[in-house]
């Protein structure tokens, strides 16, 4: 019905009613589901990078600590042990999804919920009535500029989530914020009972290897089968949030050490090959560089540009980073939507000094990258993560899984 009305009603009229429609829908869905967040411990997670990983880490730690927990994120929706992938191509789906999800989680006996929230969700009031006990802020980088109009408007949209924490009736409330980020002070100034900053300087004895990090925090050792300094920061966010709800540091350490895989986030694909095969979302220049820095040695990099019709500014910058840090660069199709996919990769190539390989068929691009790898090389395939479709013109979509394609092509290669 909604899609039909969009086709027949002029856009100016749709725009006029869009805001009150979404507000009314948020109110109705919360009322219809009995305001389920009121009776749960709710931890929200937001930021540009790391929010899906941090959400998954916090969910895992709380579950391992004995709390019946739900998580709603870009990666998946889980209610205790029952999990399903997020196939919506959006982090926090609309039309009352999150209220119904929390209703179902509460009915299943969940006492805790971890919810990843985006700036786009705030524009449609999907963050309302979540009554958070805590908010985790990971970082803020230039992103969604076309959608919001400016970096400042993007930052303000994110901060709406912090404002909601300050207005939450729960007590006590906590803000867990990255003190190393330029926006961190703004979050830590929120009027809440507990202000819990985290910083890379909080840890000691840091060790970094491809696929693994370790460090000491308050005399407790943490080992993670995840790469890069960004994993240290995600772990710190998790430590602070979990400790706020009374999970001991030793329990957090044991839980994070047992976490072997986060789907689509620096996910290792192992089929017996003698090189690293990694898939990751890495949708900003900063996250792309951080991923590449986490894998020293020879790198073969497959990348496109996340989302046609948006954030065109970053295309040559993503190309420049790949050009400077990868021995082999393969540009490929990703999610062009209504934009010409060839034009997208051409814009990326403009940031490069070398002429890249351009293989528009994503499977062929991945196959070629794997075939070029030698012992101890790193094949880094970015942009999709767990995204379930390649999005094309006029709403078309092709079912897709980077992880599955890498597994299939590795199997062929190793026969």
pLDDT tens digits, one per residue of 274-290? 999 999 999 999 999 99
Query: What pLDDT is attached to residue 305?
Result: 85
Please identify which residue in the block is written with the tokens 């790469």.
227
Average the pLDDT over 96-115 and give the result: 98
Residues in Cβ contact with 183 at an 8 Å cutoff, skipping those fewer than 6 apart: 137, 139, 140, 155, 158, 159
Model confidence, pTM: 0.94
Q: Are strands 212-217 and 204-209 parallel, antiparallel or unpaired?
A: antiparallel
What token pair was written down for 163? 């404002």
CATH number of the structural domain 267-414: 3.90.190.20
Average the pLDDT over 236-263 and give the result: 97
Query: What pLDDT is attached to residue 194?
Result: 98
Tell me how far CA of residue 60 lies from CA of 53, 67, 136, 370, in angstroms: 11, 10, 16, 32
What token pair was written down for 110? 């969940």
Query: What pLDDT is attached to residue 410?
Result: 98
Angle at which helix 362-372 crosses helix 402-414, to 10 degrees, equals 50
For residues 247-263, one letter each, b for 16 or more C-beta atoms within 10 angstroms of the residue's C-beta and e for the rest, the string is beeebbbebbeebeebb
What ranges in 132-283 are assigned the alpha helix state H?
145-148, 151-167, 184-188, 229-244, 249-258
CA distance 74 to 140: 17
Residue 95 has φ and ψ, to the nearest 5°, of 55, 40
Average the pLDDT over 259-285 and give the result: 96
Instruction: Give the start-to-end residue ranges of the domains of the chain.
Output: 2-258, 267-414
Average the pLDDT over 192-205 and give the result: 98
Task: Tell me if residue 28 falls in helix, strand or coil.
Answer: helix
Looking at the structure, give the CATH architecture of the domain made up of residues 2-258: 3-Layer(aba) Sandwich (3.40)
pLDDT tens digits, one per residue of 16-38? 666 887 788 989 999 999 999 99
Query: What pLDDT is attached to residue 143?
Result: 74
CA distance 19 to 159: 19
Confidence of residue 148 (pLDDT cuts 50, 70, 90): confident
Residues in Cβ contact with 122 at an 8 Å cutoff, skipping those fewer than 6 apart: 157, 158, 160, 161
Tell me how far CA of residue 147 lies from CA of 13, 286, 338, in angstroms: 19, 19, 16
Query: What pLDDT is attached to residue 14?
Result: 58
Distance, CA of 399 to chain centre:
20
275 burial via Cβ count (<10 Å: 0-12, 13-18, 19+) = middle
pLDDT tens digits, one per residue of 124-145? 899 999 999 999 999 998 776 7
CA distance 248 to 194: 17
Three-class HEC string of 86-134: CCCCCCCCCCCHHHHHHHHHHHCCCCEEEEECCHHHHHCCCCCCCCCCE
pLDDT tens digits, one per residue of 376-404? 999 999 999 999 999 999 889 999 999 99
In this predicted structure, the answer to whether residue 373 has a pLDDT above a threshold of 90 is: yes
**How many other β-carbons are positioned within 10 Å of the β-carbon of residue 107?**
12
- In 306-351, where do the E strands start and end? 328-331
Query: What pLDDT is attached to residue 297?
Result: 94
CA distance 392 to 12: 26
């Amino acid at each position: 019905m909604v899609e039909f009305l969009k086709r027949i009603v002029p856009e100016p009229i749709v725009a006029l009613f869009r805001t009150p429609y979404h507000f009314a829908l948020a109110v109705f869905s919360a009322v219809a589901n009995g305001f389920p967040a009121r009776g749960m411990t709710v931890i929200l997670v937001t930021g540009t990078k790391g929010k899906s990983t941090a959400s998954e880490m916090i969910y895992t730690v709380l579950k391992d600590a004995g709390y019946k927990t739900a998580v709603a994120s870009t990666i998946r929706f889980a209610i205790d042990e029952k999990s399903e992938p997020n196939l919506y191509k959006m982090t926090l789906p609309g039309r009352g999804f999150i209220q119904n999800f929390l209703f179902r989680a509460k009915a299943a006996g969940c006492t805790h919920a971890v919810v990843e929230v985006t700036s786009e969700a705030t524009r449609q009031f999907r963050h309302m009535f979540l009554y958070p006990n805590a908010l985790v802020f990971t970082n803020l980088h230039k992103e969604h500029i076309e959608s919001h109009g400016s970096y400042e408007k993007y930052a303000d949209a994110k901060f709406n989530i912090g404002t909601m924490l300050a207005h939450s009736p729960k007590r006590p409330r906590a803000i867990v914020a990255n003190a190393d980020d330029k926006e961190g002070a703004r979050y830590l100034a929120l009027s809440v009972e507990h202000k819990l900053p985290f910083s890379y300087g909080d840890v000691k004895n840091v060790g970094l290897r491809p696929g693994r990090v370790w460090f000491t925090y308050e005399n407790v050792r943490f080992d993670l089968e995840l790469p890069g300094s960004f994993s240290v920061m995600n772990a710190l966010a998790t430590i602070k949030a979990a400790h706020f709800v009374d999970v001991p540091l030793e329990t957090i350490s044991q839980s994070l050490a047992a976490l072997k895989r986060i789907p689509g986030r620096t996910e290792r694909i192992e089929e017996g090959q003698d090189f690293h095969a990694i898939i990751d979302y890495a949708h900003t220049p900063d996250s792309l560089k951080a991923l590449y820095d986490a894998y020293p040695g020879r790198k073969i990099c497959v990348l496109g540009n996340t989302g046609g019709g948006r954030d065109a500014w970053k295309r040559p910058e993503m190309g420049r980073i790949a050009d400077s840090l990868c021995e082999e660069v393969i540009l490929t199709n990703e999610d062009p939507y209504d934009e010409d996919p060839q034009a997208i990769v051409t814009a990326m190539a403009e940031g490069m000094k070398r002429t890249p390989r351009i293989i528009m068929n994503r499977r062929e691009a991945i196959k070629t990258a794997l075939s070029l790898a030698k012992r101890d090389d790193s094949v880094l395939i970015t942009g999709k993560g767990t995204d379930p479709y390649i999005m094309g013109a006029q709403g078309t979509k092709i079912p897709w899984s980077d992880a599955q394609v890498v597994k299939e092509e590795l199997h062929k290669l190793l026969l």
